[in-house]
Chains A and B, each alone.
Chain A
Amino acid sequence: MGKKNEKTLNEPVSTLDLKSMIHENALFFDKLIELIPARFYLSNEKDKPWFQGLSKAEKASAKKQSRENIKKARRDRLDPEKSTKTTLDLLKENLEKEKVIKESDEEEIEVKPIMSDLGNGEEPSVTYEELRQRLRRKIEELRGGRNTGGSDKGKKKIEKKGNVQKKRKRDSGEEEKKVTSSTDRDNVEKDMEEAAKELTFSRVKLGDEEKHGKKKKRKLSKFKELENATKLQEAKKDPEKGEVIAKKHSWKAAMDRAAGIKVHDDPKLLKQSIQKEKKRHQKNVEKWNERVETTEKLKTEKQQKRSDNIAEKIHQKKMRRIAKREKKLLRPGFEGRKDGFINEGST
């Protein structure tokens, strides 16, 4: 097999043949690339989601995002209408992107076209929309004659009526709009915007806030807080601006307290807590000293006991030796140790 190939290569190669050969090779390689799934062939930065080091909220959002991405990708893959992007197409896209980036180095603004919800998905169902409009108008006419027990719907009802009136005003004003359905949608959105200006919702914690927040205020030591509080009190007693300051401070303190932030502005309470802290500190110091004492005592006791035991042992040893010596002299018929000469003095 190999020799046959060599044979073909030995023939004189004209440029046309070269081109066609290159073209064939290119096609062959393209087909190979298409066989490899894009995941393995193209390096994607977002392939491995990095979860370490994020806070809990960020992790949750990242996981949610990745789950959604997976779902979306699956849908896109199995969607017969959407074009199937082969690896080759993705590769080509990447190359084009690089080209574009190289060309426009300075400007890297991505212009996202504002997707308005207005026009999307409207075309196929225009007539259906018209039917719905007619139905709605009929219902409203009927409703006008009916007496609704306003208690249940209450505020919502009033808003709805307001919306209807606003709609009528706007419809008369804007005669240029072509499609009726889009005006209604517009009006609803405008109403929602206006209403949203007046509405306040419960506290929502967004995960990104932690990054943008300013440096958290360091907790001042109680002593410093006491100083601040006394200063504030004196400022309040000031005859000129005292009242203004007092009022401003009380409102600010009330708002902070309502929001859950602790406000320390009463010097009396602060003094009390400083005293308590001192006492606690004292107690702890005493306890610590006690503990140190007891350990020392135990130590000395043990050492004492040890040295006593050792001394005792030595003493015992000596006694044993003496006893042993004495035993030797306890043989039968022994009258005892020599205590001195019988005749005192030498004659």
Chain B
Amino acid sequence: MARLRNRKKKVFLKPIVKKKQEQQQQPNVDPITGNKIPKSFVFSRGKLPGPLRQLQMDLRKLMLPYTALKLKEKKRNNLKDFLNVAGPMGVTHFLILSKTETSPFLRVAKTPQGPTLTFKIHEYSLAVDIAQSQLRPRCPQDLFKNSPLIVLSGFATGDEHLKLTTTLFKNIFPDIDINTVKLSSCQRIVLLNYNKDTKLIDFRHYSIRLQPVGVSRRIRKFVQNHQVPDLRNLQDVSDFVTKSGYGSESEADEEAATVTLTSDLSRVNRASTKSAVKLQEIGPRMTLQLIKVEGGLCSGEVMFSEYGNGGNKKKPDGQEDSEKDNEMEGSDDDNEEEDSDEDIEENEEDDEED
């Protein structure tokens, strides 16, 4: 099947998809749970300024390993082209970034006919900025080899559109089979927190680290770093081992965040010992607001709209509204920046406007 796919790729693809050798052998069906593994495309519509392009890259890294890391898109690509490619490759979700004069937007959609959620990005921080703000930024080698876990908070008591958001986000990442999952493969976590008052969603991305608890700091550092400690001022090795300094600031948090491991994680974290779970932030940070839910893929009837029906017609730089195919039932005219960048249609539209 992989060979077939390659041939198809070279024939009629407009968006050039380059995948690494390993990724070409990615399974479509999870061998253990038997479900289909959700894959995603992260791309942009329209020209994005520099920081937004970085944000797009960060989002791509976030969705690893089941996404196209080096997806290249040309200006003349429509949404339809992406759809055509998505089918044979088993891509199930699209994350589309776009920008208008007011603010950038993020659309999360499920192919081929799925619902589309439009989020307005109020604020965002890039991964680079976050790493620069930290004293000891952490990025181990295989951090992006496994997909992240996802935790949603505050969505449970919401309306339909919140429930839809929950379902959609839960299904963007593959399932976890608790029987066979290895603890060492859960290394990242994505947090979405819904604030009922301001209706804003906080989006955070952390890396998980386990630290054994109950060991004095010195011994722990010694075992982890293999650095010979300085025993100049001590009379005896027992001083080194039994000297207990003040606990670090974060040790008080550990009471609530300790877990008992069921399996060995590394030399230091052994099974059935207590370890503290520590989260360190990586990756982009966003504040989103859900403003629209559509029944189709960037088309179809609007099922929920923050600002009321018919409002919020966006005209991103250069792109014009053009939605010719209305397949879904009773579609309203809420069609924002649609895809076609093609010259012919643009000219037509210009004429119409004039």
Contact = CB atoms under 8 A, between A and B. Distances in A.
Interface in A152-203: 152, 154-156, 160, 163, 184, 188, 191-192, 195, 197-203
A192 B153 CA distance: 13
A254 B167 CA distance: 10
B255 interface: yes
B166 interface: yes
Please name the 6 residue pairs, one residue from A and one from B, whose CB atoms are nearest each other, closest first. A254-B115, A61-B179, A257-B114, A258-B168, A258-B167, A200-B152
Given A64-B179, A199-B151, A259-B171, 12 more contacts: A136-B255, A154-B281, A155-B202, A156-B279, A199-B152, A200-B151, A202-B176, A203-B170, A204-B178, A250-B301, A254-B115, A254-B303
A156 B254 CA distance: 12
Interface in B1-46: 31-36, 38
Contacts of A60: 32, 177, 179-180
* Chain B interface, >50% SS class: mixed
B150 A202 contact: yes
B107 to A, nearest CB: 14
Interface of B: 31-36, 38, 92, 110, 113-115, 133-134, 149-157, 160, 163-164, 166-168, 170-171, 173, 175-180, 191, 193, 202, 204, 246-247, 249, 251-253, 255-256, 279, 281, 285, 293, 295, 301, 303, 327-330
B252 A136 contact: yes
Contacts of A14: none
A255 B327 contact: no
A56 interface: yes
B198 to A, nearest CB: 14
Contacts of A140: 252
A257 B110 contact: yes
Contacts of A28: none
A255 B156 CA distance: 15
A207 interface: yes
Contact of B177 (A199, A207, A246, A254): A207
Given A203-B171, A204-B175, A258-B115, A139 B252 contact: yes
Contact of A259 (B167, B255, B301): B167
A192 B256 contact: yes
Contacts of A151: 133, 285
Contact of B153 (A61, A199, A247): A199
Given A61-B179, A205-B178, A266-B328, A200 B166 contact: yes
B295 A250 contact: yes
A158 B303 CA distance: 34
Contacts of B149: 201-202
Contact of A266 (B134, B167, B327): B327
B180 to A, nearest CB: 5
Contacts of B328: 266
Interface string A43-60: 000000000000011001
Contacts of A269: 327
A233 interface: yes
A250 B330 CA distance: 11
B155 A200 contact: yes
